[in-house]
Amino acid sequence: MKPKRNYPLLLASQFLSAFGDNAILALILGPVLVHFKQTRDHLAGAADRQCVYTSLLFIPYVVLAPLAGFFNDRFSKTRWLIGGNLLKLAGAGIAR
């Protein structure tokens, strides 16, 4: 059985999605750690903020999972990942 034509596109979409998640997390946490190193504040505060920011990034995944499941049933996975990545890009642009 031949693989479908969309399989490489699906793999690329999943890779870019995971890469984007980690890049957003690094962009949020990087300045926090730099601030704490520059001001020589106690690093326990940095760990607390890192925990909060990480939670704020991943809580929507849990809360929006039922909605994501609904859309996954309605649209192809490749299309759904591209739409999600565009939404993530818009959110990162707003946060900038």
CA–CA separation, 52 and 46 (whole Å): 10
CA dihedral 4, 7, 8, 10 (to 10 degrees): 150
**Total domains, the chain:** 2
Reported pTM: 0.48
Q: Are residues 83 and 73 in the same domain?
A: yes
Q: Are residues 72 and 94 in the same domain?
A: yes
Tens-digit pLDDT profile for residues 9-56? 778 877 877 887 777 777 777 777 777 777 766 666 667 777 787 787
Residue 96's pLDDT is what?
Answer: 63
**Which pair of tokens denotes residue 55?**
């939670």
Instruction: Compute the residue count for the chain.
Output: 96
Residue 48 lies in a domain: yes
pLDDT over 70 for what percent of the chain? 85
Residue range(s) defining the domain that contains residue 32 = 27-62
Q: Are residues 74 and 85 in the same domain?
A: yes
